[in-house]
């Protein structure tokens, strides 16, 4: 399906007028030789997972700050994030009338019109039931900062967030190995955490059960094994997979666009390209702490409702970090994301 010009003409700060998962109205025409269609309307969204589009903030990623938290964490950007991967989705109807006329459908990727200049928000997917953030134990190493950003974005939209620690079979295979405790802060924050390996099969059935209802968006850094996991969950997908390059420890983009795919055991999955940077959109500095994994109700104890938890008096969050009531690494991670929002 093509996109009607009226969709592109509408005032919007999004890079595309529709995203994968959008509910749309389509007009189909059967000429006798081929079936063609056009998306003419986008329905209301229950939610969306979006980020600031690449290049929107110019030199983002090159800033730093000398302000440090109680654990020694800098307020500048951390190495959890590099440049962004490919994102957008196209338009296509998952279902609709095939005899001509008007029908309804869900955008599922591929096709669509050319990019519009100017907009600053990239919607990765809309109308989703859960965001599964995949991080590898090793190869590439686990990056909690990127996981945090995805979880904050999901919480801001009221979407369930899930952490999937993949490649756990590598726990004992490296000389200076990372162990599974890297996911403990997310468990302690009350988030579901799955530990998976396509080599041993650990956690695959649990992941399959979780994804068997609704629409799941699977996101994560390049090379963490998203496509391999989905192939294990639903072998009929036959998604392309790749290796992590040795010289910089990053994965290659084996998925190059966002697609909505049916799973054999039920449910749908939005498969997205690896993302090396996720710049939050729609989250204000004053609300960040209330969305941050592990902070719980601590921000409610601060003297000021708009407390940023830096050097304000009677700050409950900072006091908890200094006195052991809040994990220092959680607080350091928060400060790095906050610095990103303040710049």
Cα–Cα distance list, 95 to 18, 72, 184 (Å) = 16, 53, 41
| Per-residue model confidence as pLDDT tens digits over 162-211 | 999 999 988 765 555 668 889 999 999 999 999 999 999 999 999 999 99
Q: What pLDDT shows up at residue 201?
A: 95
Contacts of 336 (CB under 8 A, 6+ apart): 73, 74, 75, 76, 77, 78, 80, 145
| Per-residue model confidence as pLDDT tens digits over 73-85 | 434 333 343 323 3
Which pLDDT band, with edges at 50, 70 and 90, does 343 fall under? confident
Q: What pLDDT shows up at residue 240?
A: 66
Number of other CB atoms surrounding residue 35 within 10 Å? 12
Which range (26-35, 49-58, 197-206) has the least confidence?
49-58
Proportion of the chain above pLDDT 70, given as a percent? 76
Whether the Cβ atoms of residue 48 and residue 157 lie closer than 8 Å to each other: yes
Q: What pLDDT shows up at residue 272?
A: 84
For the cut 80, the answer to whether the pLDDT of residue 94 exceeds it is no
- Give dist(CA 118, CA 8) in Å, integer: 12
Q: What pLDDT shows up at residue 73?
A: 40
- Give dist(CA 155, CA 176) in Å, integer: 34
- Give dist(CA 285, CA 214) in Å, integer: 31
Which range (34-38, 75-79, 162-166, 323-327) has the least confidence?
75-79
């Amino acid at each position: 399906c093509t996109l009607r010009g009226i969709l592109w003409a509408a005032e919007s700060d999004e890079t595309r007028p529709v995203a994968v998962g959008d509910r749309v109205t389509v007009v189909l025409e059967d000429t006798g030789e081929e079936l063609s269609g056009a998306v003419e309307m986008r329905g209301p969204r229950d939610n969306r997972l979006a980020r600031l589009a690449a290049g929107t903030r110019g030199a983002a990623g090159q800033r730093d700050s000398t302000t440090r938290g109680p654990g020694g964490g800098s307020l500048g950007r951390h190495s959890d994030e590099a440049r962004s991967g490919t994102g957008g989705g196209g338009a296509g109807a998952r279902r609709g009338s095939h005899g001509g006329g008007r029908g309804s459908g869900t955008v599922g990727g591929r096709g669509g019109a050319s990019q519009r200049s100017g907009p600053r928000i990239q919607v990765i997917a809309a109308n989703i039931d859960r965001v599964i953030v995949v991080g590898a134990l090793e190869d590439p190493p686990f990056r909690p900062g990127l996981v945090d950003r995805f979880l904050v974005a999901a919480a801001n939209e009221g979407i369930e967030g899930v952490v999937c620690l993949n490649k756990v079979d590598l726990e004992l295979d490296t000389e200076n190995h990372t162990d599974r405790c890297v996911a403990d802060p997310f468990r302690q924050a009350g988030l579901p955490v799955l530990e998976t390996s396509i080599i041993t099969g650990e956690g695959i059935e649990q992941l399959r059960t979780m994804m068997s209802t609704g629409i799941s968006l699977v996101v994560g850094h390049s090379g963490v094994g998203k496509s391999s996991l989905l192939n294990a969950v639903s072998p009929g997908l036959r998604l392309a997979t790749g290796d992590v390059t040795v010289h910089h420890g990053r994965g290659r983009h084996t998925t190059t666009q966002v697609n909505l795919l049916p799973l054999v055991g039920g449910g749908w999955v939005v498969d997205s390209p690896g993302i090396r940077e996720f710049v939050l959109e729609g989250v204000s500095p004053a609300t960040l702490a209330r969305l941050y994994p592990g902070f719980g109700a601590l921000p409610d104890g601060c003297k000021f409702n708009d407390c940023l938890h830096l050097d304000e008096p009677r700050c409950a969050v900072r006091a908890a970090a200094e006195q052991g009531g809040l994990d220092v690494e959680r607080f350091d991670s928060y400060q790095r994301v906050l610095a990103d929002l303040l710049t």
